């Protein structure tokens, strides 16, 4: 992955890239998302449209997205997306209004006590993997990227989690996942 594509882009310098333990590509600590409009759209929906996101403005949407993901021209993509968002255009309410209704996540007690789990799917296939399980420690922001297949069921995901995260960091309190809370029951 490092060799293909990266040095064709003039926005990214190799010095700012590193591979994580599982061979995922990190750019300035964020997961580099290959050019894939469907995937970009999905990530935008997750970071802008979802109830927990609450239709933040352009800058905030970009900031949220940049915490975990990066791709060239990401700013322009976000600008365009938010400008064309139906809900944002229709709503006359202040952009940050939904924040007040949500309870903020409690601050974790220690490292690897509370993690968030996301699935990046529809990646170009490599070594029989076509998805990445992204596990982020909510306190330290340390992350593990675990190659997987998007067909994996929750049992398999639990197995991946145990092998790749639990063995290193041990028990935890909560997992926030974009597939809901189904995995908590498996541990
Ligand atoms: Zn919106």
pLDDT digits (tens, 9 = 90+) for 5-47: 333 333 455 566 666 666 566 766 777 777 778 888 989 999 9
pLDDT of residue 146: 87
The answer to whether residue 108 sits within a structural domain is no
Q: Which among 101, 134, 164 is the end of a domain?
A: 101
The answer to whether residue 37 sits within a structural domain is yes
Residue of higher predicted confidence among 10 and 143 = 143
- Residues with C-beta atoms within 5 A of ion ligand 1: 55, 85, 87-88
Q: Has this prediction a pTM greater than 0.75?
A: no
How is 125-151 classified by DSSP, letter by letter?
PBTTB-EEEEEEETTT--EEEEEE-TT
**Are 12 and 92 within one domain?**
yes
**Are 122 and 54 within one domain?**
no
Q: Which among 101, 129, 157 is the end of a domain?
A: 101
Q: Which among 47, 66, 101 is the end of a domain?
A: 101
The answer to whether residue 132 sits within a structural domain is yes
**Are 75 and 138 within one domain?**
no
Contact 123, 134 (CB under 8 A): no
Cα 61 to ligand 1 centroid, rounded to whole Å = 9
Mean pLDDT of 151-161: 79
Cα 81 to ligand 1 centroid, rounded to whole Å = 8
The answer to whether residue 91 sits within a structural domain is yes
Cα 48 to ligand 1 centroid, rounded to whole Å = 6
**Are 73 and 133 within one domain?**
no
Band the pLDDT of 59: cuts 50, 70, 90: very high
Mean pLDDT of 163-185: 60
Q: How many CB atoms lie within 10 A of CB 144?
A: 22
pLDDT of residue 172: 62
| pLDDT of 180 over the 50 cut | no
The answer to whether residue 121 sits within a structural domain is yes
**Are 12 and 96 within one domain?**
yes
Q: Which domain holds residue 57?
A: 6-101
Cβ burial of 49 (10 Å; 0-12, 13-18, 19+) is middle
How many domains in the chain? 2
Q: 136 - beta bridge partners?
A: 116, 143
The answer to whether residue 109 sits within a structural domain is no
**Are 82 and 157 within one domain?**
no
The answer to whether residue 106 sits within a structural domain is no
Task: Calculate the average pLDDT of the chain.
Answer: 72
Strands of 69-70's sheet, edge to edge? 17-19, 25-27, 30-32, 69-70
**Are 84 and 152 within one domain?**
no
Closest CA to 178 of 128, 100, 97, 120: 120
Name every residue whose Cβ is closer than 8 Å to that of residue 5 and which is 6 or more positions away in sequence: 34
**Are 138 and 97 within one domain?**
no
The answer to whether residue 138 sits within a structural domain is yes
| Phi then psi dihedrals of residue 168, to 5 deg | -90, -40
Cα 110 to ligand 1 centroid, rounded to whole Å = 34
**Are 128 and 97 within one domain?**
no
């Amino acid at each position: 992955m490092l060799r293909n594509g990266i040095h064709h882009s003039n926005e990214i310098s190799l010095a700012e890239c590193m591979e994580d333990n599982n061979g995922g590509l990190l750019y300035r600590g964020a997961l580099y998302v290959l050019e894939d409009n469907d995937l970009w759209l999905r990530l935008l929906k997750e970071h802008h449209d979802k109830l927990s996101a609450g239709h933040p403005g352009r800058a905030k949407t970009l900031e949220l997205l940049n915490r975990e993901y990066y791709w060239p021209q990401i700013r322009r993509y976000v600008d365009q997306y938010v400008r064309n968002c139906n809900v944002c255009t229709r709503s006359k309410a202040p952009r940050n209004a939904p924040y007040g209704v949500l309870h903020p996540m409690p601050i974790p007690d220690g490292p690897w006590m509370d993690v968030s789990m996301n699935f990046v799917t529809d990646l170009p296939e490599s070594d029989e993997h076509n998805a990445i399980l992204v596990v982020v420690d909510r306190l330290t922001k340390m992350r593990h990227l675990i190659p997987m297949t998007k067909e994996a069921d929750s049992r398999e995901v639990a197995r991946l989690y145990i092998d790749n995260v639990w063995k290193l960091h041990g028990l935890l309190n909560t997992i926030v996942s974009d597939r809901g809370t189904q995995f908590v029951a498996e541990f």
